[in-house]
């Protein structure tokens, strides 16, 4: 399998280095709007080269996006029209219902898949299953150190309370987990989100609270920040790598 990577930041670099060690992956193609980032990453890999997305599409089987919502809007349609599978990390880009449905249509027409890693949260399998029977309410509480938001605070502050749709709009780089949770469960408008900056905490935490016909669900995860980007959880990188492994491996675990 050949892998294309858009975005050579912290998550893209983690994915590229892991993919470089996978026997099933023969070549890796890198692209970043910041050429210094792709050149730096290239020096650490054995099986990689740098190409524009338009150029590497004919060579790859799967494209991993780890750049931004803008990158998803710019490249997702081209990737799916080329019949290539796409892994999206910037899930907040899918809050645009019209855009998301267009990608769904393109994937069906071109017989390819869009994969959304669970990212920095656990419990998505439970939400997916519970939603089959009916969910009454889903709430996400995300707490991060103020530095993750570019803030300096002396006390805990609730930065946002509202729907996932509004959260993704206001915090596009910090709350992709809300988008993943919304797609798995009750949607962007009915998923409740609270975002907190707390100077006492050193880890990024996500808490999911849900109830429905299945019973009650409570999941809480404390993430270590990515050592190369304190605004991102290291679990997000691990989730992306696990998604690639899931595509490759013959036995699929989970829903």
Tokens of 170: 């206001």
Angle between helices 10-20 and 234-248 in degrees, nearest 10:
40
124-223, CATH topology level = Dihydrodipicolinate Reductase; domain 2 (3.30.360)
CA pair distance 243, 240, nearest whole angstrom = 5
Helices and strands: H and E segment counts in the chain: 9, 13
Q: What is the pLDDT of residues 196-207, one digit of tens each?
A: 999 999 888 999
Map out the domains of the chain as residue ranges: 2-116+235-248, 124-223
Q: What is the pLDDT of residues 149-193, one digit of tens each?
A: 889 999 999 999 999 999 988 887 777 899 999 999 999 999 999
- Catalytic residue check, 211: no
Q: Which among 146, 149, 152, 182 has a CA at the least distance from the CA of 164?
A: 182
223-229 contact pairs (CB < 8 A, 24+): 223/120, 225/145, 225/148, 226/10, 226/11, 226/14, 228/9, 228/10, 228/13, 229/9, 229/10, 229/11
Q: Is 176 within 8 Å of 92 (Cβ atoms)?
A: yes
Full-model pTM = 0.93
Q: Is 226 within 8 Å of 237 (Cβ atoms)?
A: yes
Cα 66 versus chain centre, distance: 8
* β-bridge mates for residue 67, sequence order: none
2-116+235-248, CATH topology level = Rossmann fold (3.40.50)
Write b or e for each residue in 220-237: b if 16 or more Cβ atoms lie within 10 A of its Cβ, otherwise e: ebebebbeebebbbbbbb
Check 206, 210, 223, 225 and give the catalytic one.
206
Q: What is the pLDDT of residues 19-30, one digit of tens each?
A: 999 999 999 999
CA pair distance 246, 179, nearest whole angstrom = 21
pLDDT at site 147: 87
Give me the helices (H) in 21-68, please: 35-42, 53-56
Q: What is the pLDDT of residues 116-158, one digit of tens each?
A: 999 888 999 999 999 999 999 999 999 988 988 889 999 999 9
Sign of the dihedral defined by the CA atoms of residues 251, 208, 227, 232, in that order: positive
- 3-class DSSP state for residue 248? helix
Mean pLDDT of the chain: 94
């Amino acid at each position: 399998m050949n892998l294309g990577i858009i975005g050579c930041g912290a998550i893209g670099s983690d994915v590229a280095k892991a993919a470089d060690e996978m026997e099933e992956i023969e070549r890796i193609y890198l692209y970043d709007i910041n050429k210094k980032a792709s050149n730096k990453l290239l020096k650490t890999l054995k099986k990689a080269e740098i190409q524009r997305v338009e150029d590497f599409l004919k060579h790859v089987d799967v494209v991993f996006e780890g750049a931004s919502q803008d990158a998803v809007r710019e490249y997702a349609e081209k990737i799916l029209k080329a019949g290539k599978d796409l892994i999206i990390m910037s899930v907040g880009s899918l809050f645009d219902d019209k855009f998301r449905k267009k990608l769904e249509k393109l994937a069906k027409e071109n017989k390819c898949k869009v994969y959304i890693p669970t990212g920095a949260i656990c419990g998505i399998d439970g939400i997916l299953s519970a939603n089959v029977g009916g969910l009454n309410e889903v709430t996400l509480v995300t707490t991060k150190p103020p530095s993750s938001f570019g803030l300096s605070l002396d006390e805990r502050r609730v930065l946002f309370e509202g729907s996932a749709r509004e959260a993704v709009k206001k915090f596009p780089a910090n709350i992709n987990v809300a988008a993943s949770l919304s797609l798995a469960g009750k949607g962007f408008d009915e998923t409740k989100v609270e975002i907190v900056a707390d100077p006492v905490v050193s880890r990024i935490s996500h808490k999911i609270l849900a109830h429905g016909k299945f019973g009650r669900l409570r999941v809480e995860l404390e993430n270590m920040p990515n050592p190369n980007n304190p605004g991102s959880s290291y679990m997000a990188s691990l989730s992306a790598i696990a998604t690639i492994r899931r595509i490759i491996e013959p036995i699929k675990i989970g829903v």
